[in-house]
Structure 1
Amino acid sequence: MDESVQRIALGDVEIIRVVEWAGEFITGRELVPDAPAELWQENAGWLAPDHWSPESGLAAVTLQTWVLRSGGRTVLVDTGVGNGRERPGNPLFHRREGDFLGRLAEVGVRPEEVDVVVNTHIHGDHVGWNTRDEGGTWVPTFPNARYLLPAADVHHFGPENGHAKGVRADDRLIFEDSIAPVLASGQAELWDGGHRIDEHLSLEPAPGHTPGSAVLRLDSGGDRAVFVGDLLHSPVQILAPSCSSCLCLDPAGAAASRQRILGRAAELGELVIPAHFGGTGAVEVRREGGEFTLGRWVG
């Protein structure tokens, strides 16, 4: 199956997945440190090969953007890593070059046609294509788009907070090349507490992974979905929602948000669409007793 493009129709909204990169990352035990080894082994039959390799122990991840056609507008959910970024703290992202814009073009999306960009949070693999290099200057990639940024993350990673207290050099670099230019252009809209995009789409806070981490809810024609960003890095976190990733700034807060979002998804029949799952990338979640289980994969 060619996973670079995938289409799902939910009500009046078309969903198109565009993959920037897919491959093995770090070990599953490193990615989700509190998930016991037996959880991976017991579920190896379906985790492999899309999500985990039993032979190497490495987790497989996908860097992708979800393109939504809703109400006559084109909405991008997260924008990947981008090209030519200085990311000394992450060899996978450092000075990466790829043809993401070409992949967008293949599904009929030109930069000037994008109406809304949603950044579920401000991490380097979710905001990179917010901007592009034009003659040595970072400028917004999508010149006519409104960029929706969680205010809590803009504060946390911004200069007034010392770029997340200066713990990681990459946080400053990410803000300077991928966030500051859209703030300077006047295209950014900071939101807090919730934000409605249109009759089908709305944003709500789901803090923990970062202070401003958010989910995007879709409700159209009786169909429902929730784009959960980095609340989930691996499907094992559906089976063990108390286990946060090594990348979460507030693991306990992320676990609480994950429990809440998965609980509502199971109750309402929402399709769960994370930022980094391989395979078809979207899955139904069910509750059996007090536990969550995976339903069918959709795509």
Structure 2
Amino acid sequence: MQRFVLGDVEVFPIAEWRGAFAPVDVLFPTMPGELWREHESWLAPDFVRDGDYQATFRVWVLRSAGRTVLVDTGLGNDKPRDAEVLDRRDGDFLTRLAAAGVRPSDVDLVVNTHLHADHVGWNTRLADGDWIPTFPRARYLISKADYDYWNPDGGGTPKSTFASPSDIRASFIDSVLPVHQAGQAVLWEGDSYRIDADLSLEPAPGHTPGSAVLRLESGTDRALFVGDVVHTPLQILQPDHDTCLSEDQAEAARSRRRVLAEAAATNSLLVPAHLGGAAAVEVARSNGNFSIKRWAA
């Protein structure tokens, strides 16, 4: 089990699934094919293989200020989904979590960076035919903007091309609504939400209206857990290209540029949700362009 320490915060990455998710020309419709070919020597095999985007669905476990915090909750089990990789899974995530020394009852806080199905799956589990919170003691931090947008009764009109309206509705009903009904959801809004002395949340909209970044500042160490603000390292080099999964691609690109600029200026470790390989990276900026400075060890 990998483990690293940033200031006073321990960090454990747990990979729930790895593999080919979608063809890159489908997932990144504006990204030129020659760009993938130009960088294939270092993108393969962790990030692209045979024209397919290689995804890692990862949950980050943080121990901060005496509490256990999960950053996103992955795919979940038993949930009906359109995409084969998500559909009615029978995975061993809770076993992997236990290997990191964490039982469901140990989790104090869950941070959902946004409410796409692959980030909220283990918010709940199936028990006697009902969806109940997987982490019985935890508070779940959920952006109010995302909650209102994805709520079938909230009037939002999701328009990303990858999930059907029925799939989006199902994800909200089985993975988000039960947490709210149990009284464990904290719907945060505004320019920031302070979790503790080392952790805070800030909006980074575009991928979804309520997409957020978890900022870690502890001692001299900095990290930005950016969820789906970045899907592939090519978006560091070419941040204006977005995925077909985003609700507002132009706004997502603006958020990505802002986050990359902060990562470069503060020497923050950039920690996206789905990168393979080292999974985290340091970013440099020169003449308005971004580059990969160093991969995390």
2:214 matches 1:221: no
CA distance in 1, matches of 2:6, 2:76: 28
In the TM superposition, residue 168 of structure 1 has moved relative to its aligned partner by 1.1
1:15-63 CA distances to partner (integer Å, 9 max, x unpaired)?
100011001111222222211112111111110111011xx11110100
TM-score normalized by structure 1?
0.95
Please identify, of 198-207 and 164-173, the stretch whose mean Cα deviation from structure 2 is larger: 164-173
Cα displacement (A) at 1:260: 0.3
Q: Which residue in 2 is equivalent to 1:20? A: 16
8 A contact 1:163–1:171 mirrored in 2: no
Whole-Å Cα distance in 2 between the matches of residues 216 and 274 of structure 1? 11
1:77 aligns with 2:71: yes
1:173 paired residue number:
170
Residue of 137, 145, 154 corresponding to 2:147: 154
- What secondary structure sits across from 1:6 in the alignment? coil
Q: Which residue of 2 aligns with 1:208?
A: 206
Superposition pairs of residues 123-138 of structure 1, within 5 angstroms: 123-138=116-131
Count of aligned pairs between the two proteins: 292
Structure 2 distance, partners of 1:223, 1:111, is 28
Q: CA deviation at 1:289?
A: 1.8
CA apart distance, 1:288:
2.0
Find the counterpart in structure 2 of residue 33 from structure 1: 29
Q: Does 1:190 align with 2:198?
A: no
The one-character-per-residue Cα deviations of 1:138-191 (angstroms, maximum 9, x if unpaired) are 000000001000000100011323564696101110111001111011010000
Instruction: Give the alignment's Cα RMSD to 1 decimal.
Output: 1.2
Match for residue 43 of structure 2 among 47, 51, 55: 47
Give the structure 1 partner of residue 55 of structure 2: 61
Specify the code of the residue in structure 2 equivalent to 1:84.
Answer: D
Q: Distance in 2 between matches of 1:72 and 1:288?
A: 39
Aligned partner of residue 68 in structure 2, secondary structure: strand
Question: How far did residue 111 of structure 1 move?
Answer: 0.3
> Residue 120 of structure 1: SS of its match in structure 2?
coil
Cα contact 1:158–1:164 (8 A) shared by 2: no
Residue from 235, 242, 245 that aligns with 2:243: 245
Contact kept in structure 2, 1:11 and 1:221, CA below 8 Å: yes
Cα distance between partner residues in 1 of 2:37 and 2:158: 38
Residue deviations 1:84-139, cap 9 Å, x none?
Answer: 0011x212211111000000000100000000000000000000000001100000
1:212 aligned partner, one-letter code: G
Could you tell me which runs of 5 or more consecutive residues in structure 1 were left unpaired when the two chains were aligned.
none
